[in-house]
Amino acid sequence: MESHPYWFFILAIVVACISWTVTKEEIFKEPREYCVAKSKSCNALLKRKFFYVFTCEYCFSHYVTLLLLLVTDYKLLYKNWIGYVIAGFTIVWMANLYMSLYNIIRIDLKKGKITAEEEAEKLKIQKANADTIRIP
């Protein structure tokens, strides 16, 4: 695969999207809850760590990146195995930056929605109070 400068950013978006969806979104809630329980209850260290990977977006992004690098044969800076290593760590870093930014945006949107709902409720109460105070 010939490297283009923008592929790095696209691959990081793919990693971020898959990692976030598996570790945070509602669609994978039940399997994730199972993995959380198993990661806390397994006696064997490797089993605990295996299940933990599916609950942590940072950890999971490493494995998604590894799989993506194998599928795409993407290398960064070098055309040998060193290119895989550099691509792997930089894609993981960029994917986690994307996920952090996405999380900040989601929090801000939720805060805005909550604030708007609170303001609407206050206005509704004020209007109800104003209507009851009026003398016909």
Query: Residues 11-67: pLDDT tens digits?
Result: 999 999 999 999 999 899 999 999 999 888 888 999 888 988 888 889 999 999 999
Distance CA 93, CA 14 (A): 13
Mark residue 73 as left, alpha or beta (left: phi above 0; alpha: psi -120 to 50; beta: remaining).
left
Q: Is 76 helix (H, G, I), strand (E, B) or coil?
A: coil
N-to-C CA span, the chain: 79
Question: What pLDDT is attached to residue 86?
Answer: 94
* Residue type present at position 8: F
DSSP letter at 27 equals G
Asked, for residue 133, whether it belongs to a domain, the answer is no
Number of domains in the chain: 1
Asked, for residue 43, whether it belongs to a domain, the answer is yes
Reply yes or no on whether the pLDDT at 131 is more than 90.
no
Distance CA 38, CA 55 (A): 11
What is Dmax (Cα atoms) for the chain?
86
Question: What pLDDT is attached to residue 2?
Answer: 60
Q: Which domain holds residue 78?
A: 7-108
Reply yes or no on whether the pLDDT at 1 is more than 80.
no
Residue-averaged pLDDT of the chain = 87
Q: Is 42 helix (H, G, I), strand (E, B) or coil?
A: coil
Asked, for residue 115, whether it belongs to a domain, the answer is no
Question: What pLDDT is attached to residue 72?
Answer: 92
Question: What pLDDT is attached to residue 136?
Answer: 56
